[in-house]
Structure formats: C-alpha cells, structure tokens
Chain A
Amino acid sequence: MSNTTNEPDGHEGHGGRTPVPMPVARFDDPHMQEAATHPQRTERIIALSFVLGTLAVAGFGAAYWVDGPPWVLAVTFGAGLLLLGFGLTAWGKYLMPQGPFVEERHRLASTADEQDAMSAALVQRTGVVVKRRRMLGGLFAGGAGIFGIVAIFPLLRSLGPVPGNTFDVTNWRRNSLLVDSNGRPVRVDTLQVGGIMTVFPAGAQNTEEGQAVDQTVLIRVSTDDITTQPGRESWGPRGYVAYSKLCTHLGCPVGLYEQQLQLLVCPCHQSMFNVLDGAVPNFGPAPRPLPQLPLKVDSSGHLRAQAGYDQAVGPGFWERTTR
C-alpha cells in the first residue's frame, strides 16, 4: 500500500475518481534493466534454444507422420517442449526488465454516505419486497426437495444390482461337468500328480458370473483317493482335489500352487492354504479354509461334482451364515 501516499487529497471514493498518470520509465532506471550480465550472449543462447526446439517439434511432426518408433516421438516431443519452455523462461527471466513495478490505483473503500444509503435500501427492501413472494419461495422449496430425493435413486443404483443369493450359491450343482476355460471337459487322465488347472462348471466358463464366483482350482495330489478332512472321504477321487479359487480373505484368485510344499498361496496377502488338509490356512490373513468341491469320476472317465459347494465361497459378508 505504498501507493496511498501518492493519492491526491480530496479525491476519495467512487465519486472522486481521477486517472492516475503512469510513471514514465526512464532508461537509466535500474529497475528497467535486464538481469543478464552479458545480454548478447544470453540472447544467442535463447535463440539457439528456440531454433533447436523448433527443429525438435518439427521432427516430432515428421516422426508422427511416418509413424516412427515411440521413443523418437517421446524424445522429439519432450525436447521440443523443454527447449521452447527453457527459452521462454530464460527470456523473461534474464532479458526482461526486472522491476519491481508499481501500478497506481484509486482507493477501493466506499464513502460513508454510500455505505449509509446501501444499508437503508437493504433494510427497506427486505421488509417489503422480498417477503411479498411467499408462494414462489414455497414452490421452489418443494421442487428442490423432490429433486434432492430423486437424486438419491441413481446413487443407490450405482451400488449395483441386488445380489440376491449369488453370494451363497454358485453354478456348481450335483453332476456339474468340470471344464477348462476353453470348455474342454476334464478327464481323469488330464492331470498328472503335481498338476493344477482352473475349472468351471460346464456352460459357465465364459460367463462373467462363472468367472467371478465359479472358478475352482483342480489339483491332482496322488494316484489314490485322498481324504482331506473327516467327512470328505469320497471327495477326492484318484487324488483329485478341487477348491474354490476365491481367497476367503478378500477374494483374490488363489492360483499359486507349490507342489512340494503342497501349499496354495494367495498373491495378494500371502495367505497359505494346506492342499492336503482341506485348504486350511496356516499363514496369512485368510480367516477360513477354501471351500472344497466334492468330486467324482463318471462312467466315461470325466470328472464331475458330487454336489455344489457346501458353503458360500469367497470373502465373508454380513449375512454369511457359516463364518
């Protein structure tokens, strides 16, 4: 506010506006000199920067025209912008007058008379004019209120469809045929001991829901029928075991099978499931074993499910009955 001292007296407020004369720059004013100690040399450097930047930008255009490799596009584009920007910045920084500059202005505050007149007008209009239109105000409040309620609908809809029972039930049923991601049925000789593949119930392998909730890892751990847990004596024919591929922690695909350690590892948070012991987690944040799919071999040598999963697959949720 150093300029207030230059304000001519007696010319305050809107009514007293007087153009303030611009100060005349004098050539010997130190504020009007460039900062560069060697202006000629600086100018040459900036000119060179502009020339090179122009060449680079033109080169980018040419490279784009002939569909050049990405790195050429990147280098020419980046160098062009960098050189032009450098030149501009250096021009302003070293060759332009450095200031500081002072721009005079009139006083911004209203006069006491103007302020009094404004408050008188406000008081008068509020009492009479604004309060007169109660009906319009009520109508607008009604419309805005309805709009506010309606605006909640898309918000609720964006939460997705109501899941229904899809959290609890998969497409695995009694006699579901095991197929791979290409729909090829899995035969009893498809895997050897130490093999793993991802399987789906036939028909669901290419559906979004099938890939989301039905994905199951099929592992062959021995040539004999294997029992992983009491009550699952018939679930592992010919050494085949099948577990839901959805981690019980947060639903990541548990696809890392270590065949010597007999562990299934989740890549997200390193939960480890014991393949031979019903996929009980023995490390990591997973709270439950992976649900096991009971298998059987049909008369033609194909693997089928004895039944669907006996519990919800994937991570826990509020309404889950078997936590």
Chain B
Amino acid sequence: MMVAAMGLGGVLSLASGASATTTPSSSSGVGGISSGGGVGAGNFSSGVSLPPGVGSPSYLGGPKNSGGANASVRIYRTVGGKRHLVAYGSSAITYKTPPASYVPLGQALFAQNCSSCHGADAQGSAIAPNLVGVGPATVDFWVSTGRMPAATTNVVQANRKPPRLSPKQALEVAAFVNSLDPAVPYVPYPNLKGANLADGADLFSLNCAACHTITGMGDALALSTFSPSLHAATAQQVAEAIRTGPANMPRFTGNLLDSQLRDVVAYVTESIQHPADPGGSGLGGIGPVAEGFIGLLFGVGGLALICFWIGDRA
C-alpha cells in the first residue's frame, strides 16, 4: 500500500523495521547509545548519516512501533550501488524525503532567499544558524509557515506570516539543504483517518497545553519569547514541529509514537482549530479574563440598565 502511495521511481526495496528491531539488544536504540556522537546504526542505509547528537531516531521503528497498524516500513532506493532511505514511517505517518530532482531548483531558491544570512553552503553565520544536517522536515516547517525567509533579524522570535515560497518551493529548498548532509526527520505526511481524538486531547493537554494553552491560542513565555497560536497550522506543519522542535519548542521523538502523533495532529486540526463553542463565541479562547470582562461589562452592565428601567417611574 505504501509503495503504491509513494509513486517514487528507481529501485524500491521494502524492509520491515519491525522484523529488524524486535529485540532491544540489537535495536537501533541501543546502537544509538554506543555511537553517541552518532552515525546511524546498522538499520539505516549508509546513504543516510544522522547528524551529531541526534542519535538513532527511535520513532523510525523498534519494539514500540512494531506490529499491527503501527508497523513501520522503510523504503530504499539504490543509486550507484548505494542504498538511500527515501521514506519510512507507518500507516499513521509517512516520512518522505523530497526527490533528488528538486535539488537544482532548491539550490537556486536557497541562493536567492536564504544565503544572505545562512551562507551559500548553509553553514550559517553570526546571525543565522547552520542548517547542514537538520533534516528536510525542519527546513520545510520554517519555509512553509512563512517564518523563513525572515523579514528582519532584529526580533527575538520569527513569527508566522504568509509564506514567500510555495509549498513545492519549500520542498525544493529542503531537498537542497538535505543534499548537503542527508538526515532525518523527513517530511511527515500524516494520515488522519482512524485518529483517536480523545487520545489526542489527552496527549495535547499533557505535552502541548502547558505552553500553547488548552485552546491552542499560544501565550507569552520567558524573555520575550512566546508560543505561537496553532490555529493556522496545517496537519503537516504540526507534525513537523512536534518531530523537529523548532526554536524553543522541545522535540518529541521516542516518547510520542507515530500513532500518538497522528492523534495529536488530528486533535489540533479538528478540535482545536474548529472548536464547538457551545456558548456561541469563544471570545478568542484566551481564558477567564476575557470571559469575565465580557460577563461583567455586558452581563452585569445590561442587568443594571434593566434595573434602572424597571425602577424608574413612568
């Protein structure tokens, strides 16, 4: 099913992550311990090297993701005798790398839009971080949400704005950056069918609501930083942010399975972005201060006016 959905050219070989990683002692996870500053463990194609410090991404598979609907799958393509990982994931989330044909256009777009700060080879500068080895999902998130290219570097935190590059151009830039040093996570494609909104709500309140608030409106954090509103994010962007941890956001990897990630994404794009608002209006969803203000001003104020009218002599 997944191979058909990919539509990728080249020689495809299907490897089951479940069968390779069922015993903890030989799993990629423990491989990650010993490698420390790590190149990918044996399960990965030699064409993919993991960035230092990332370790083996346990959410690729392993005991927790094996079996049932969560069975993890990896798709490789052999080019010039080397096997390259082009996609992985499960029925809940599929992670794909942009095709290699995107690289030349991506390089041109990078030179136009990104290189003035990040450098022509994406090595970073005094005002912009090194992008080599961050993985395609990171690049796609920052570009597709409009945060990059940044309007100015003179702010604490880049804010979401209408994107300058199209979704396809964002993938092209991601393809170019990833070609410099291939890395995970790849761009996630969530399949929200079968998502459990109740579980998503639990996971959201446990992991996300502390900063983004229970209504997803975002809030102020330390030192002029803030957690952004989630109401404009697409399902793919939510998944990218959770897996990559942009800016001050923590990244959620082995503690959030692909099926759980799908539940959270579905909860954000359905319940958070389309609240039921049984009272008629959520008043911005910013909490009891706004609700109390409206209640006092219009509720108590209106009652006072009515009392004046009743008590006044005709």
Contact = CB atoms under 8 A, between A and B. Distances in A.
Interface of A: 35-36, 70-71, 74, 89, 93-94, 98, 180-181, 184, 186-198, 219, 222-224, 238, 253, 255-261, 263, 265, 267, 270, 272, 283, 297, 300-301
B248 A260 contact: yes
B225 A192 contact: no
11 contacts: A187-B24, A188-B30, A188-B33, A189-B28, A189-B58, A192-B251, A192-B253, A194-B251, A257-B250, A258-B221, A259-B248
Contacts of B248: 258-261
A192 B57 contact: yes
A212 to B, nearest CB: 16
Contacts of B225: 258, 261
Interface in B242-288: 245, 247-255, 278-280
Nearest to B32: A189
B158 interface: no
A257 B225 CA distance: 12
Could you say which of A186, A188, A219 has the most chain B C-beta atoms within 10 Å of its C-beta? Answer: A188
A190 B250 CA distance: 13
A287 B80 CA distance: 62
A184 B29 CA distance: 15
Interface of B: 24-25, 28-30, 32-33, 36-38, 52-58, 64, 206-207, 210-211, 221-223, 225, 245, 247-255, 278-280, 309-310, 313-314
A190 B254 contact: yes
Contact of A180 (B28, B36, B255): B255
Given A189-B58, A194-B245, A195-B253, A223 B36 contact: yes
Given A89-B309, A93-B314, 9 more contacts: A189-B29, A193-B54, A195-B251, A223-B52, A255-B210, A261-B222, A263-B222, A300-B24, A301-B33
A259 B249 contact: yes
A283 B58 contact: no
B206 A191 contact: no
A224 B223 CA distance: 27
A255 B219 CA distance: 14
B260 to A, nearest CB: 9
Nearest to A267: B210
Contacts of A71: 278, 280
Given A71-B280, A253-B210, A259-B245, A192 B222 contact: no
A223 B210 contact: no
Which of A94, A193, A222, A253: most chain B Cβ within 10 A? A193
B56 A189 contact: yes
A187 B251 contact: no
A256 B32 CA distance: 27
Contacts of B249: 259
A171 B230 CA distance: 37
The 6 closest A-B pairs by CB, nearest first: A35-B314, A189-B29, A190-B254, A255-B210, A258-B248, A70-B278
A207 to B, nearest CB: 17
A194 B250 contact: yes
Nearest to B64: A184
Contacts of A283: 222
A70 B314 contact: no
B301 to A, nearest CB: 16
B78 to A, nearest CB: 28
Contacts of B57: 192
A191 B210 contact: no
| B251, B280, B309 — most chain A CB neighbours (10 Å) | B251
B26 to A, nearest CB: 12
A195 B210 contact: no
Most chain B beta-carbon contacts within 10 A, residue among A186, A188, A223: A223
Contacts of B252: 195, 197
Name, among B52, B54, B58, B254, the residue most crowded by chain A CB atoms within 10 Å (CB to CB).
B254
B205 to A, nearest CB: 11
Contact of A197 (B33, B52, B255, B313): B255
A192 B221 contact: no
Contacts of A184: 64
A223 B37 contact: yes
A180 B202 CA distance: 13
Nearest to B57: A192
Nearest to A199: B255
Nearest to B209: A255
A190 B253 contact: yes
Nearest to B250: A196
Contacts of B255: 180, 186, 190-191, 195, 197
B163 to A, nearest CB: 23
B54 A301 contact: no
A181 B251 CA distance: 18
B293 to A, nearest CB: 20
A195 B185 CA distance: 14
B253 A301 contact: no
Given A187-B254, A260-B248, A261-B225, A94 B314 contact: yes
Nearest to B54: A192
A196 B245 CA distance: 11
A256 B314 contact: no
Contacts of A191: 253-255
A180 B37 CA distance: 26
B254 A256 contact: no
Nearest to A69: B278
Contacts of A223: 36-38, 52-53, 55
A272 B248 CA distance: 14
